[in-house]
Structure 1
């Protein structure tokens, strides 16, 4: 279960028991910090915290600053934590990160609840969405901190911003972020003042298909579910494809490998697939369908010499992949971490998939030049009217 899923689960419990709560969101960062914009934490009036926005350094202070929001219908609060000075180590929070973090605190009501329901719908329907949150205002009328605009493809826009000019400018950038699948922070200089906005892309759970219900597939499912992925296990052996073996899987799909009618609809450009049936002819039958499909990642368990034989037999069935298809194919599967046990192999597989999703090499962070984050600053752009 990933962070958003944990927060949504806590949100549902809070709604059911009637507790007061506050949502803390990192909306802007600069320099070296623990979390990026979009990181969230849910706090209740009795001190319960779901997720974290720092390495346990800011949470206690955020809880104290949230007290007024628990007891009244106060307006949202924007809090800045500046750790760029050495004074922070001696007199402050002791983060020693040399960065700046802006955190938006909001009561769990109205606009915030609407946001939570939007995120929940994105995850449930496995659709991408984008949320623009206004977190700072300087002399702009008809705009409030916490106002949001939410957008999905082929769906009505949800808009809480009454200023038409601001709405149009933000909507254009939200649509662009949705198309590019890239979150950002925007600063708009208008004729009367200025507003700052976090535009965050909400990604649906990673769809993972595991072809093969053997013993070594069990830890793969467990690791994948820890990351919040949507996992489907596919096999033609009913005695192996059981809930006792795979209690965490989202779906167990019993089918023969060929024809692919039962699973073909699951093959999309976002799909991650692993073939690990341990049966040569079964792997061959699945791969006849999977290799021509435009998948995001296709991993095949087994040594290179076995894969070479598969290529020869696949060619006889008319399967001759393009260079583009080959870029999505990984064999032997997994990162080189010296894995031997099923659990170690599962870790190497899931780590490799995560590296592919993040467009990273999987090398040591020690050897990386520059920021360890793919978007070091989530750039703040100034748009002048």
Structure 2
């Protein structure tokens, strides 16, 4: 790798524009190639990235002007694309989840270890000031010892706005696999890995209807649970109550709250990089805003790629790591297993909680 990390993007769908907007302004990152099965989409994305060329996926993988493959394909293709990139000697940073199953994900991590390349994975929202400030507050003992947490993500479904939403309702999708990584990555970052889970799930509707775009009115089948509830036991002893749903129109629920022996902490939406952190203690007697005190400021999707570049330069693990993403995927699978079997299920994987992001740090230097 030279002075800049040369990035090749495979997958020019809806999320790619968010990455492109960020990557063009980040130091030490140069997007050199873009590929998609739809050549027109690749051309359109490459036009947003100065100096980038649109090529076929096989050409991108073989190109020595690509150091890392940014894998923005649909979840069912995550593992296959990652393995192809690793076989070509490329580092990989992928959208969440790491793969459609832990079996596939283990294959990706094992292949990377053999090839001597690094795997990173979204979400990188935990690197922003919102979650990092909440983490700093917990580490400072502001609420004493954490004893419990709640995490709620509810929506009536992505088919209302997404023009091609079918993949959200196929294996590797659903509210747990789609949005769960944001919440579970945040919870693991705040409270540590998960060692045991229970769960229940439901699929109230067998079909969904596309509500926007040229295919509006198209009805398609639902092949996954669209409402999932679980209890997570963290290695430190805290218990989290989790609810992920594509079946709720409106609810006045917190995104994430952590409850401790001396107070409570309200955590911002983990789908975003910033947001208010609010603290209640017996001393304050009311909720007060916690000033920003950790995390990358003005971060956006793509900062995980920049943090990967930093890790390669410094010889340290990436914060949005493959091991963290694997543990989150394992937790999600075990919740669904618990829902199917009606039992508590052990989570056998573990991960190292990433290093905190100092306040004012930049991904190109800390």
TM-score normalised over the length of structure 1: 0.33
- TM-score, normalized by length of structure 2? 0.35
Higher relative contact order (CA 8 A, sep 6+): 2
Point out the structure with max Rg over C-alpha. Answer: 1
